[in-house]
Amino acid sequence: MGTNVDLSVQIGNSRLANPVGVASGTFGYGGEYEGLVDFSDIGAIYTKAVTFESRGGNAPPRLVETPSGILNSIGLANVGVEKFISDKMPYLRTLPCAVAVNVAGATEEEYLRVIERLENSCIDDIDTVDTNGSINTSRSGIWGYEVNVSCPNVNHGGLAFGTDPVQVERLTSSLRKLTKKPLIIKLTPNVTDIASIAKAAEAGGADAVSLINTLVGMVIDVKTKKPVLGAKTGGLSGPAVRPVGVALTYKAKRAVSIPVIGMGGITCADDALQYILAGASAVQIGTANFVNPKTAGLVLAGIREYCVNNNVSSLEEISGIID
């Protein structure tokens, strides 16, 4: 039985040490989990969304539990790009794992301004080329970008971009011109044809697509006869959405040749392996981080054990093998 398993993942011109990341909006800016996790177990931190100006987010309540999941309506509350650079990046630069900055905006111009500002913050960093040909941008602290065109709980931008393949391709193409770092487009499940959106991202120059973001949901308090969330609707996540995420990962991978990063309801290695068998090259842990911050490490160990037990030397051997 072989024991040498290559769990690294190529995304664009760079590699992730392993396929298990932590999803945006569930891991803050990394420091919130200091002392709770071994960051070397994490392939990538996908940061809390960053917009050009700071955002206060939606009115409370912002969270409500549902069967096998939660609804959130945070509304992309964040510190804004300048505070992110000055207050968050110094810590993120110290971590041993890759950092993918999640970028959001209300307009195409805002997305462009955020990435342009982040790129300029790295202007003095010298990229080096590793022996495997990958670009190493560890000095800047920014490995790549995950572009949120899929948030279901903001009034402008986000979901509006993510449901229109023409806008997705145009936005991706514009962002592609600003950076050589891995560019990942995060897709919404709230569409009738995920394949067309994934194809649009690929046509625009994306290095990968990640999916799924949360599904739109509502919880009503029958006593008050009002929605529980301050914004009325929110994004559904947790184990309840996993079958949807796996199915859409399967569909997206068969539409594009770029890597697909799967997420939605992953709580253990078997959940992650479903995504990988469906076509994912990597996965992200989301809501499970709130239950057990060490989930990513446990999932990684489980994937490695599965590969050893099944004589799998790399994830490429089993990614997308489902007909």
Identify the active-site residue in 97, 151, 268, 307: 151
Which pLDDT band holds residue 119 (cuts at 50, 70, 90)? Answer: very high
Report d(CA 261, CA 102) in Å as an integer: 14
Q: What is the mean pLDDT of residues 90-108?
A: 95
**Catalytic status, residue 151:** yes
Sketch the domain layout of the chain as residue ranges: 9-57+76-221+237-317
Instruction: Look at residue 187 and give its three-state secondary structure.
Output: coil
Extract the tokens encoding 168: 């997705």
pLDDT at 135: 41
Cβ-Cβ contacts under 8 Å for 36 (sequence gap 6 or more)? 293, 294
Which pLDDT band holds residue 28 (cuts at 50, 70, 90)? Answer: very high
Superfamily of domain 9-57+76-221+237-317: Aldolase class I (3.20.20.70)
> In the chain, where do the E strands start and end?
9-11, 14-16, 20-22, 44-46, 63-66, 69-72, 98-103, 128-129, 135-136, 144-148, 183-186, 208-211, 215-218, 220-221, 226-227, 233-237, 260-263, 282-285
Which pLDDT band holds residue 158 (cuts at 50, 70, 90)? Answer: low
Q: Is the pTM of this model over 0.85?
A: yes
- pLDDT per position as a tens digit, 229-265: 999 999 999 999 999 999 999 999 999 999 999 999 9
pLDDT at 130 over 60: no
- pLDDT per position as a tens digit, 190-221: 899 999 999 999 999 999 999 999 999 999 99
Residue 277 Cα to chain centre, angstroms: 19
